[in-house]
Amino acid sequence: MSVWDVVELARHPERPYSLDYIKRLAPDFVELHGDRLTADDPALVGGIGRWHGRTTMFLGHQKGRSLKERVERNWGMMHPEGYRKAIRLAHHAAKFGFPIVSLIDTPGAYPGAGAEERGIASAIASAIMEWFQIPVPIVAAVIGEGGSGGALGMGVADRVIMLEFSIYSVASPEAAASIVWRDNSRKVEAAEQLQITSREILAMGVVEEVVREPEGSARADHDAAAAALDAALQRHMQPLFELSGEELLRRRYERFRYIDSLIKAEPQFGPKID
């Protein structure tokens, strides 16, 4: 399978989206809307449901299947309001001691004028900083596309896992091609060069686990994919319940502060730290 085949699987319209997983993980899920400032961002779903006996906050980028739904969900590309809603719900979860599951599936934050006018850069920046102060367990999973800062804005967690045929990238292959070659048609080369597949991201030490997908990938069997994701999320969440809020925050800080530490272990793999 080529890297581009993986990109296409990660973006496949029949691939399960966040709500497909959330409804299987927590059938009693209640969706909560809005950033309590100006709007609700339909590209991000959030809400609570009972998961393995605990009320849990679920957050997830949401794409649409029909054209109408895709437009409504803005192809899973969040506006500033989405990041503000996520942080509002994170504080809500912290208030009641609910653990948080964050499902990542976005090409990136919305690259449009309105997002710029309403401060998308500082919305993402604040979210990233704020996640380090939410003293409840957080597990994030990349379930499809983990595109750029738009994904990372939802990806600061105690554990981060990836589905087998998902991707995580500093920029979408198209954007990277446009930046490096000024030619977004060289996306296939860019995808190969960027090392965005789950196996490569795991090797770089950026995620804790790659979750095997069912035969024919997650799109072939939504129930089996959800069962695999459920088990993996649970496996990573469980040990976090043993830790105090303070300890969680300390370890979350260290996780990201030294995320490139593999580089120290393998000198050929990065900067030499003096």
Partner 1 sequence: MAVIDRQSAGVPIAGGKLPEILLPTNCPGCGAGLDREGLRAQNYVCDCGHHFRLGADVWIPIIADEGSFQERWSGIRSHDLLTWTVPKRYEEVVDELLSEGLNESVRTGTCTLNGKPIWLAAFDFGFVGGTLSIVAGERLARGMEQAASSGLPYVLVCASGGARMQEGVLALMQMAKVNAALGALHRARVPYFSVLTDPTFGGTAASLALLADINIAEPGAAIGFTGPRVIKQATYADLPPGFQSADFQLSHGQVDLVAPRTELRPLLAHLLELYT
- Which segment (5-13, 15-23, 181-189, 227-235) binds partner 1 by CB under 8 A? 181-189
SS3 label, residue 271: coil
Nearest to 138 by CA among 115, 106, 104, 171: 104
In the chain, the amino acid numbered 26 is A
Is 142:207 a contact under the CB 8 Å cutoff?
yes
Q: Count CB atoms within 10 A of the CB of residue 188.
A: 14
**CB 3 to partner 1: min, Å:** 12
Whole-Å CA distances, 99 to 50, 69, 127, 138, 252: 11, 29, 17, 6, 14
Interstrand relation of 138-147 and 100-106 (parallel, antiparallel or unpaired): parallel
- Shortest distance, CB of residue 164 to partner 1, whole angstroms? 17
> Smallest distance, Å, CB 116 to partner 1?
5
Out of 6, 11, 168, 226, the only residue in the binding site for partner 1 (CB under 8 A) is 168
Single-letter code of the amino acid located at 174: E
Count of residues near partner 1 by CB under 8 A = 59
202 lies in the site for partner 1, by CB under 8 A: no
39 makes contact with partner 1 (CB under 8 A): no
Of the candidates 199, 122, 138, 139, which has an alpha carbon nearest to the alpha carbon of residue 168? 199
Site string for partner 1, 121-150 (x = CB under 8 A): xx-xxx-xx--xx--------------xx-
Q: Which residues bind partner 1 (CB under 8 A)?
A: 109, 111-113, 115-122, 124-126, 128-129, 132-133, 148-149, 152-153, 155-156, 168-171, 175-176, 178-181, 184, 189, 193-196, 201, 204, 206, 252-253, 256-257, 259-260, 263, 267-274
